Amino acid sequence: MARRRRTSLPLALGELAVAAPQVVAHRLVRLAAAGPQPGKADRREFHRMGAEKIAAFWESWAAMALQGWTVQQRTLANLQAAWWRTWWTPLARPGAGAFGPSAAQWQRHGLDVLSRGLAPVHRRAVANSKRLGAVKQRR
């Protein structure tokens, strides 16, 4: 599996803020134009709308859970190392055995979890925006 380029969270949010309304507008116009008896291509697109939302939700949930678990394990290992440092070198220097991550580390971990959760939604919305925009231009 090829590794994907990770987009920064602010950039991904900006791209999503542009792509999502475009996709919604295109699909609403298509839904209105299809009328009460949509064609095969329209039904396929409408089915895809729901199916990809469910898939994106589960992918996002799994990515966030995995990243959260990874952060938890890393933090647990750091806490254990800090405990051992404190136990074996209590007088070495003040604050040498400070427990746990700093506020900046917690913030970075939280942003990593959010970034992982947003990635599947972002990937689908941007791809749909390009795909549906290309369809519109062909007509």
Residue 20 — very low, low, confident or very high, per pLDDT cuts 50/70/90? Answer: very high
pTM beyond 0.85: no
Residue 120 — very low, low, confident or very high, per pLDDT cuts 50/70/90? Answer: very high
Q: Where in the chain are the domains?
A: 57-87+99-123
Q: For residues 138 and 115, which has the higher predicted lDDT (pLDDT)? A: 115
Mean pLDDT of the chain: 84
* Separation between Cα atoms, residue 55 and residue 37, nearest integer Å: 27
Residue 97 — very low, low, confident or very high, per pLDDT cuts 50/70/90? Answer: very low
pLDDT of 98 reads 55
pLDDT of 92 reads 58
| Percent of the chain scoring above 90 in pLDDT | 55
Average pLDDT value for residue range 68-92:
77
Contact 99, 83 (CB under 8 A): yes
pLDDT of 61 reads 96
Q: CB count, 10 Å around CB of 104?
A: 8
Contact 121, 54 (CB under 8 A): no
pLDDT of 99 reads 57
